[in-house]
Amino acid sequence: MNTESFLEELAALIGPSHLLTADCDTSPYCVDWRQRYFGRALAVALPGTRDEAAALMRLAHRHRVAVVPQGGNTSTCGAATPDTSGRQLVVGLGRLNRVLAIDAGNDTMTLEAGVTLAAAQQLAARHKRLFPLSLASEGSCQIGGNLSTNAGGMAVLRYGTMRELALGLEVILPDGSLIEDLSGLRKDTSGLDIKQLFIGAEGQLGLITAATLRLFPMPTARATALIGVDTPQEGLDWLHRLRDRFGDRLTTFELISLPCLELVRRQNTARVPFMSPWAILLELSDGGDSAALYPPLLECLAQAHTVDGVVAKNEAEREALWALREVLSDSQKREGPSIKHDIAVPCSAIPVFIDEAGAALEAAFPGCRIIAFGHAGDGNLHYNVSATRPGNTDLFDDEERVNGIVYDIVYRHGGTLAAEHGIGQLKRHWLERYKDPAALALMRAIKQLLDPERRMNPGKWL
């Protein structure tokens, strides 16, 4: 590669002001959100159109330059961070932020990949529609990154992950060729569903530049409650009770442990209305009037003889209950690093997983501190270990041993080590250990077919 020639051609393609080469300009793009991975980029390119991005990819292919796609840079696994060689080109998608189409009659919108999730939600709302993906990072994360990690969030129980929310994709392949399939169809059996290759691939197969996404009727009725329970099994009983009673009107079902409540109260980041061994944050949503949801919900609470419970009576109280859940990650970050596990098990296995993992970690690390919370309605838990042993100055000295304990139990119960955050750099060796060998071989064969020189986001799990 002739670096000088490549950068000169790239600057001519996208404009000199959109090619960052000075360390002071590129450094924010070279560290992950958790500040665990630090890289160094050849440059950061910020294309402003699909055609510029395609020309950029063709140029990188010709010069054999590795490309690291990056959206809002909110990855928790180092999936969008370049290595330390200084030879990888970071391609930021933030300038690809146009709305290409809104078809309210078909309940779809077509957006470029650099649109933030919050902007997508607001756009849908202006058309009296709902885009249901909701994440703590929604003000920063971008649609392209949400697709690349198959993001899930708070409402998967009712609406599904990005795999279910995406109807069509526009993708630039490693050689610069274009797949343009921004279909708004719900049913299409004319061959393999190619878009699914790129959803969850973490930018290793191509560069997502646009997507057609599903919209839904905007709920006009909501009922939100925080309920105290003694055990995860009691929480699971509530899940079954609510689903039997409300069906898919049960939109969200979050499980929060006592150490989480103590953490939020200690950090004073949100109001904690009561303390209990476990808490459930649930939300019902529907059309019509919220008043219709309250009587049956209150009836459920009365029949279960709930001692600790708060039902939001208005929007301000609803937002206060949601704040309790939304500040958890930031509250934990304020207290220092943690060994994070974005795991999922079948919902029925959540109680036994929590019991077994807690006992195994306590046996290995007496007095360890576990911060467990998450989307229990779809089996996804954020199971974090914030302390292991007294006097340990570097928590991550124990990370491999902690991970091995947790992941062995996860897979014993038919689970996964990555429910919504992806693999990135953090979990690639663990994927090798637990993933079905035939499935992993097939994934690598697809990578070899599309990217034989392994220039798309190298150093990650493929």
According to DSSP H, which parts of 374-423 are helical? Answer: 399-412
SS3 of residue 202 by DSSP: coil
Residue ranges of domains in the chain: 3-92, 99-217, 221-330, 336-438
DSSP state of 219: P
Residue 304: which pLDDT band, with cuts at 50, 70 and 90?
confident
Residue length, the chain?
462
Considering the segment(s) 336-438 as one domain, its CATH architecture is: 2-Layer Sandwich (3.30)
Enter the tokens of residue 249: 């009107």
Residue 13: which pLDDT band, with cuts at 50, 70 and 90?
very high
Assess whether the region 3-92 and the region 336-438 belong to the same CATH fold: no
Right CATH for 221-330 from 1.10.3260.10, 2.30.30.830, 3.30.70.2190, 3.40.50.10860: 3.30.70.2190
- Give the β-pairing of 88-92 and 66-70: parallel
Determine the pLDDT at residue 185. Answer: 96
Q: Is residue 354 pLDDT above 80, yes or no?
A: yes
CA distance 364 to 389: 9
CA distance 416 to 343: 6
- The stretch 282-305 carries a mean pLDDT of 91
Enter the tokens of residue 141: 């994360």
Determine the pLDDT at residue 97. Answer: 97
Pick from 171, 204, 172, 180: nearest CA to 59: 172
> pLDDT for 176-212, tens place per residue?
999 999 999 999 999 999 999 999 999 999 999 999 9
SS3 of residue 63 by DSSP: helix
CATH of domain 99-217: 3.30.465.10
Considering the segment(s) 3-92 as one domain, its CATH architecture is: 2-Layer Sandwich (3.30)
CA distances from 369 to 23, 223, 361 (A): 38, 33, 9
Residue 274: which pLDDT band, with cuts at 50, 70 and 90?
very high
Mean pLDDT, the chain, integer:
94
Contact 311, 223 (CB under 8 A): yes
Determine the pLDDT at residue 1. Answer: 66
Q: What is the percent of the chain where pLDDT is above 90?
A: 86
CA distance 449 to 462: 12
Determine the pLDDT at residue 336. Answer: 85
CA distances from 457 to 346, 413, 460 (A): 31, 32, 7
CA distance 96 to 214: 20
> pLDDT for 133-182, tens place per residue?
998 889 999 999 999 999 998 899 999 999 999 999 999 999 999 999 99
Q: Is residue 300 pLDDT above 80, yes or no?
A: yes
CA distance 358 to 296: 35
Determine the pLDDT at residue 165. Answer: 98
Q: Can you name the residues that pair with 286 across neighbouring β-strands?
A: 221
Contact 227, 345 (CB under 8 A): no
Contact 430, 440 (CB under 8 A): no
Contact 213, 182 (CB under 8 A): no
Q: What is the percent of the chain where pLDDT is above 70?
A: 100
Residue 387: which pLDDT band, with cuts at 50, 70 and 90?
confident
Pick from 103, 104, 133: nearest CA to 118: 133
- The stretch 241-265 carries a mean pLDDT of 95
Determine the pLDDT at residue 238. Answer: 95
Pick from 74, 155, 120, 154: nearest CA to 324: 154
What does residue 170 show for φ and ψ, rounded to 5 degrees? -115, 125
- The sign of the torsion formed by the CA atoms of 338, 340, 346, 352 equals negative
Determine the pLDDT at residue 392. Answer: 72
> For the chain, what percentages of helix, strand and coil (3-state, to nearest 5) are there?
40, 25, 35
Residue 91: which pLDDT band, with cuts at 50, 70 and 90?
very high
